[in-house]
Amino acid sequence: MRRKHRDLLVWQRAIVPVEMVYGATDAFPPSERYGLSGQLRRAAVSVPANIAEGYARSGTRELLHYLSISAGSLSELDTLIELGQRLGYFDQTEELRKTLDDVSGMLMGLQASVRRRAGS
């Protein structure tokens, strides 16, 4: 059975920061394994995971709820990246931040589209 969330461009694009975050946090000091590194990874994974979960739900309200959680995780991830950069754990964040901006725009567009189709 084909999972339809895989067809969503926003889900496909939201996977990219997960890969980037995992790669970057591999270089974090061992003392951060359960600290900032773990938080970054959880926030990154939460974005596409909540898009997928919402898309698998039966109702529009549930979909919007999970898309909202995904957007919140995206903001959390942006904040954690800023902290990591300020603490000297990230060298360059431009590409990662651009990807987050892309995902954010696509996510807002999907939310607006779902609301329009629902008539709310």
Distant-in-sequence contacts of 17-20, Cβ < 8 A, 24+ apart: 17/44, 17/47, 17/77, 17/96, 17/99, 17/100, 17/103, 18/44, 18/45, 18/47, 18/48, 20/44, 20/95, 20/96, 20/99
CB-based contacts of 17, cutoff 8 Å, min separation 6: 44, 47, 77, 96, 99, 100, 103
Range of the domain at 13: 4-118
The token pair at 68 is 């909202």
Count of the separate structural domains present in the chain: 1
What's the CATH code of the domain at 70?
1.20.1440.60
pLDDT at residue 92 in the model: 84
pTM of this prediction? 0.93
Digit-by-digit pLDDT tens for the chain (120 residues) are 557 899 999 999 999 999 999 999 998 998 888 899 999 999 999 999 999 999 998 889 999 999 999 999 999 999 999 999 999 998 889 999 999 999 999 999 999 999 998 886
